[in-house]
Structure 1
Amino acid sequence: MNTYEIIKELAKRKKMSIRQLEITLGYSNGYFSKWKKVSPNSEGLRKVADYFDVSVDYLLGRELKEAP
């Protein structure tokens, strides 16, 4: 799974859409969909990791467990 797919799955578990997550974190519409083709920035990854209480490595697919 790529970073976008991992974030999408985490949002789904919280019963929220990607758009709802973008609004909650203060991002513009389509912010996360850009991560399908472009590497995410460190600040964006940190905010998402903090929100879902997971590590940045988990979001990058380098770690199997969710807990930081």
Structure 2
Amino acid sequence: MPLNLAEFHKIYTIARICGLDKQKHYLETLGFTTGATIEVLSELHGYFIVLIKESKIGLEKRLAQNVILIAE
């Protein structure tokens, strides 16, 4: 399921990253890599606040749709 459809405060694993190469590279530099665990903390004004690799990151809704998750 895409990150924007994930439930809050539940642990997920990143299955894959979709989108253009530029978008994929940007997400990978932020730590969004296949196999990484992620927790969606909240949503605020179209941005998803996530906890990944012990860092809180705000991710725009359009980019969040490119992150495909699997529930643990």
Structure with the larger RCO, 1 or 2 (CA within 8 Å, 6+ apart)? 2
Asked if Structure 1 and Structure 2 have the same fold, meaning a TM-score greater than 0.5 normalized by the shorter chain, the answer is no
The normalised TM-score by structure 2 is 0.32
